[in-house]
Structure 1
Amino acid sequence: MVFGGWKGKLYWVVEWITLLAVLQLLWTGLTLLGLVLFGISPATVAMFTTLRKRLQGEDVLKRLVKIFWNTYKVEFIPSNKIGIILLVFGYFLSINFQIITSFHGILGLLLLTSIITISILFGIIIVNIFQLYTYYDLPTLRYFTASIIFSIAYPLQMISTIVGLAILYKIYSLIPGLLPFFGISLTALFLSWISSQMFKKELELEEQTHLSNCSGGGVTS
């Protein structure tokens, strides 16, 4: 059934609200199913994969739920390789931060600057890595470097991401009741939309390069 005018817009809004609520429930449930530690990475990958499919035009809720569940199962072990590396690195980063804050003078300032810089890079990796994982098939460690490279290559998208996340944080602070129902899914939707613009540009650039190579290769003397 297709609605027009305000009914169509209302239906579109209700459809998205329903999807986000369902995805939030799935993410929470499957994260707990993996005992949190081993469930959060595959659940997050499944979230981004499902949202990517939705942004590409898939709008049947039943199929999107199936995509979420199938992705979770398939990516349980592979995605946990990334999740464990992030967890271990984050743990050592926090420990080193506590140690470095006890230093004083020039040495303390230099070490603090270094740890803050590394923490910013770590934050960039966390924001980008699972989205890259759903788009590209790379060796595990390549996702970490690719996360930083993409942020450098597309600074406007990264700035937009930071601003958007700050706005979402403000909204969640003002209306904390949104967090249990839309906290993760709405944030993932925003990140997916931003990344879709970035990956679209990357695909267009690859296509242009491919066409240029084909045109150049077709010239004979």
Structure 2
Amino acid sequence: MGLTGWKGKIYWFAELVMMLAVAQLLWIGLTLLGAIVFGITPATVGMFHVMRKRLQGEDDLKTLVRNYWQTYKKEFVTSNKIGLVLIVLGYFLVLNFRIVSTISGMHGLVMLALLSMILLLYAVLLMNIFPVFTHYELPFTRYFSTSILLSISFPVQAFLSVVGLYGLYRLFLFIPGLLPFFGISLTVLFLSWMSSGIFRLKGKMDGTLQAEDQ
């Protein structure tokens, strides 16, 4: 029998808090299971998958562990390929940033500005690639381009995502005790919620364009 009114809201909030805590523990455990290096990206993909299901009303505490584990196993190899690409890109960009920052004059300033723009695109890529990966079935390389193009196509939503992430950062600084229990899960839930709005807008735009073509 479902609860309604204020009791229902309290139950919903309590279940959400429990779900976030369980998902965080699963993320930590599965990351360690993959020896951290090989576990962090599949654990993160699994987190985004269950949060997406949660937002769609298709997941609850009873199915959370099973769906998380199934996604972790299924996407273990592909997600680690994504993680490897992100690590190599990040290392390359940081290395070049250190080199460029030592160059003086106008030439160095121009190179620094260009590299800063590339670093911004890399940050956008980090923010979007896992929601895109769990939402779309795409060729491997298109996950990277789609993640960037979606943010360029919906700049307001991308800006709000950055603002929200900064807000969570301040929250965890203010209450550091939340970090080990909700740091990753709450962040992933927020990014999943923001990306779901972008996906809905894109779906409406695609539908409008198809209708106009007809």
TM range (shorter): over 0.9
2:101 and 2:200 map into 1 onto residues whose CA distance is 42
Offset at 1:130? Answer: 0.7
Measured in 2, the distance between the counterparts of 1:99 and 1:18 equals: 46
Letter in 2 for 1:9: K
Question: In 2, are the aligned partners of 1:54 and 1:64 still within 8 Å (CA)?
Answer: no
Cα distance, 1:205 vs structure 2: 3.0
Q: Which residue of 2 aligns with 1:201?
A: 201
Q: What do residues 74-107 of structure 1 show as CA deviations (whole Å, max 9, x unaligned)?
A: 0000111111000011011111111111111112
Contact 2:50 2:59 in 1 (8 A): no
Unaligned runs of 5+ residues in structure 1 are 217-221
| Conservation of the 8 A alpha-carbon contact between 1:31 and 1:39 | yes
Q: Which residue is 1:165 aligned to?
A: 165
What secondary structure, in the 3-state scheme, does the structure 2 residue paired with 1:116 have? helix
Q: Which runs of 5+ in 2 are unaligned?
A: none
Q: 1:100–1:108: 8 Å Cα contact kept in structure 2? A: yes
Measured after TM superposition, the shift of residue 59 of structure 1 is: 4.0
Aligned residues: CA RMSD:
1.3
Q: Which residue of the partner structure matches residue 108 of structure 1?
A: 108
Q: Kindly name which structure, 1 or 2, has the bigger radius of gyration based on alpha carbons.
A: 1
Task: Out of 53-62 and 14-23, give the one that drifted further.
Answer: 53-62
Q: State the partner residue of 2:23.
A: 23
Map 1:34-113 onto structure 2 (within 5 A).
34-113=34-113
Alignment size in residue pairs: 214
Q: Is the 8 A contact 1:58 1:64 kept in 2?
A: no
CA distance in structure 2 between the aligned counterparts of 1:4 and 1:48, rounded to whole angstroms: 29
Does the CA contact (< 8 Å) of 1:81 and 1:140 recur in 2? no
CA offsets 1:19-73 (integer angstroms, 9 cap, x no match) = 0000000111111111111111111111111011111112431212211100000
CA distance, structure 2, for counterparts of residue 102 and residue 208 of structure 1:
50
| 1:219 alignment partner in structure 2 | none
Name the stretch that deviates more: 197-206 or 63-72: 197-206
TM-score normalised by L of structure 1: 0.92
Distance 1:121 1:46 in 2: 24
Instruction: Indicate the larger mover: 58-67 or 1-10.
Output: 58-67
Note if contact 2:93-2:119 (Cα within 8 Å) is conserved in structure 1: yes
Structure 1 residue 177 and structure 2 residue 177: aligned?
yes
Give, in angstroms, the shift of residue 141 of structure 1.
1.4
Percent of matched pairs sharing the same residue: 52
Tell me the amino acid that sits aligned with residue 99 of structure 1.
I
> What letter is aligned with 2:104?
H
